[in-house]
Amino acid sequence: MKNALLVVASFALIFGFMFASDWYKERQAEKSSFMAQENAETFIREHSEALGSDDAKVYIVEFMDPACETCAAFAPFVKQMMAKNPGKIKLVLRYAPFHDGADYFVTMLEAAKKQGKYWETLDAMFTSQPYWASHSNPQPQRVWEFLPAVGLDMERLKKDMKDPAIAKLIAQDIADAKTLNVHKTPGYFVNGRPLQEFGYQQLYDLVQSELQAVYQ
Amino acid sequence: MSPSTQKSNMNWTVLFLCWLLVSGSTAGSIFFSSVMEFAPCVLCWYQRICLFPLVLILGVGLISFEKNVVKYSLPLAIAGWLVALYHTLLYSGIIPTSIQPCSQGVSCTEEYIDLFGFITIPMLSLFSFSILIALLLILHRRMTK
């Protein structure tokens, strides 16, 4: 009898927890899709770099960090999805430089943007990431070895990296990440709906459901 | 029902309430960190170290009512209570933050929730540990009488 009560109480706690989690996530999703309608600029700022057609109706907003391994792993996956649905998906990159010293790479990326080599530089950073972003032995300076291959004017890059506007833009992105409850990278929103369970399949499903909703 | 069974039933109920309290607190703590994604700071972890094992210690004590359960759980409860007290004082600014032991990463004084304008997470923890200690002491007195 007493042990039965113990079992019942345990189940009640576990189910209560699961119910509360679902309820909370649902509420967060509602809140964020409301924000996507009311305050679109929290998701996409003037300075945000985007890839894909302007006519695309499905917007993937990704909060990322150039030093984040999972961001590097997801980059080709997202591009594949875009290639499979030409003109329908637009990718917007936002910064959430949570790794130590990641601002440095964001600054570098923003300076590369001024030379029109944003995506090429990002690709080079992602592919060379194991060499400079190792957790046991980070060597941020080594990233420079991989940049000339992109075709960047290195002197100009160094000069552009001193632009104070870049620090402001990073601060804005970090503030927006906080508003949108992004604590981990990459953080995805598809047309304002957050990716709740993290994973390739989950992101794929979320994008598919938005594609179907908008393009039938 | 004989007076002695009634008494032991009552003792079981008190211990059950203790278990319910720590299990509920554990669920709440995991909810804050895993669902709401508030990263636990160092002090939160010390309190969790004291709290989480109590779910099992008190749970096992309940299954075959174990007379010594208070002896094993009270030290954890007191240790957790002390950390919670320190954390609450730090949080409310009574102890200056300059002496806080947290290193880089998660700040122990950043406010996450503010229920009804004054209840904070460390306060909830202090509250839980206080009730738990009170219940355990009541149980101890009942059993030694």
What's the CATH code of the domain at A49? 3.40.30.10
Q: Which residues in A lie closer than 8 A to residue B39 (C-beta atoms)?
A: 183
- Which pLDDT value is given to residue B108? 62
A116 found inside a domain: yes
Chosen for mutation from B19, B23, B41, B52 (greatest number of chain A CBs closer than 10 Å) is B23
- The C-alpha of B27 sits at a distance from chain A's nearest C-alpha, in angstroms, of 7
For A188-210, how does the pLDDT look when each residue is reduced to its tens digit (9 = 90+)?
999 988 888 888 999 999 999 99
Mean pLDDT of B64-84: 92
Mean pLDDT of A124-139: 82
> pTM for the full model?
0.66
- Which pLDDT value is given to residue A84? 92
- Which pLDDT value is given to residue A146? 86
Q: How far is CA A30 from CA A36, A194, B34, in A?
A: 10, 9, 19
A4 found inside a domain: no
The domain in which residue A53 lies consists of 40-215
A44 found inside a domain: yes
**What is the number of structural domains in chain A?**
1
The SS3 of residue A62 is strand
pLDDT of residue A56 exceeding 60: yes
Q: Which of A6, A20, A181 sits opposite B31 (nearest CB)?
A: A20
Q: Which of B20, B31, B59 sits opposite A17 (nearest CB)?
A: B31
Q: Which residues pair with A188 in a beta bridge?
A: A62
Q: How far is CA B33 from CA A136, B36, B95, in A?
A: 26, 6, 25
Chosen for mutation from B35, B55, B111 (greatest number of chain A CBs closer than 10 Å) is B35
Highest mean pLDDT: which range of A17-21, A136-140, B40-44: A17-21
Mean pLDDT of B28-39: 86
Instruction: Give chain A's mean pLDDT.
Output: 88
More confident residue, B59 or A142: B59
What backbone phi and psi angles, to 5 degrees, belong to A90? Answer: -120, 135
Write the CATH number of the domain with boundaries B3-144: 1.20.1550
Contact B23 A6 (CB under 8 A): no
Mean pLDDT of A114-143: 85
More confident residue, A131 or A51: A51
Q: Which helix (H) or strand (E) holds A193?
A: strand A193-194
What is the number of CB-based contacts under 8 A between chain A and chain B?
36
For B84-128, how does the pLDDT look when each residue is reduced to its tens digit (9 = 90+)?
999 888 877 777 654 444 444 555 666 566 655 667 888 999 999
- Which pLDDT value is given to residue B111? 59
For A165-187, how does the pLDDT look when each residue is reduced to its tens digit (9 = 90+)?
999 999 999 999 988 888 888 89
A48 found inside a domain: yes
